[in-house]
Amino acid sequence: MTKRLRYQVAVSLDGFIAGPNGEYDWIVMDPAVDFTALYKELETAGMGRKTYEVMTAQGGNGAMPGIDVVVFSRTLPPAEYRGVRIVNDDPQEVVAALKAQRGRDIWLFGGGALFRLLLDAGLVDTVELAIMPVLLGEGIPVLPPGASAKLVLADLKRLPASGIVVLAYSVRGGAGAPRIRYIKSAAAQARKALRRGKSTRQTPAKKHATKTKASKKAKR
């Protein structure tokens, strides 16, 4: 199976992936998004220096669970930490080499300038946007100015609880976008809530047994 390079980001309704200073506190969370399932589809995450620095400013070294992170930078010295590799190499060459290997897909995590570079090189296979019900007014655009690209809608999911709409597009000439499988159905969410409720709720018999044990313990 062909390994895909998937540009997958949260974006405001007016087309920004971050605020003017890289802020992302405007991103809406929704319990229907199953990040564990998403991470299982991915093997590597690629990002630029600015995105990496925003992540590390929140604590940690930018590592992601079960995913190898590659940071592309012309200014940071090459380094390797647990789960994170900083490189000064040409992103086009690194990504082309990664795509030639067997394994799970590559997540193009950010930012927009890196997306533009790899899109112009014909390396991006999908554009997957989680559109937030937010208008920022200004910020970092989903794609800097440059050549246009033709996209084909592959799948979409609506998340009524939060107002998020998730769109998956295939880039013409690419390997094609997968179906959106990391969004839990309403039925799956209901089952999970029911299981959670059962695990925390005691039956009358269990309550009586607990009280009896406590009473016997107090008499000793």
65-88 pLDDT per residue, tens: 899 999 999 999 999 999 999 999
The phi and psi torsions of 188 (rounded to 5 degrees) equal: -65, -40
The phi and psi torsions of 103 (rounded to 5 degrees) equal: 140, -170
For the chain, residues with pLDDT lower than 50 are 203-205, 207, 210, 212, 214, 216, 218-220
**Size of the chain in residues:** 220
Distance CA 4, CA 104 (A): 8
* DSSP letters for 109-158: EE-HHHHHHHHHTT---EEEEEEES---SSSEESS-SS----EEEEEEEE
Tell which residue, 132, 127, 118, has the closest CA to residue 155: 127
Residue-wise pLDDT for 150-180, tens only, equals 999 999 999 999 999 999 999 998 889 999 9
Predicted pLDDT at 200? 53
Predicted pLDDT at 68? 96
Predicted pLDDT at 58? 83
Single pTM value for the model = 0.83
Predicted pLDDT at 128? 97
Predicted pLDDT at 195? 61
- Asked whether the beta carbons of 107 and 10 are under 8 A apart, the reply is no
Predicted pLDDT at 196? 57
- Asked whether the beta carbons of 12 and 130 are under 8 A apart, the reply is no
Predicted pLDDT at 191? 55
In angstroms, the Cα distances linking 130 to 8, 134, 156, 167 are 8, 11, 10, 6
The phi and psi torsions of 183 (rounded to 5 degrees) equal: -105, 120
Predicted pLDDT at 94? 97
- 3-state DSSP percent of the chain in helix, strand and coil, to 5: 30, 30, 40
Say if strands 42-48 and 16-18 run parallel, antiparallel, or are unpaired: unpaired
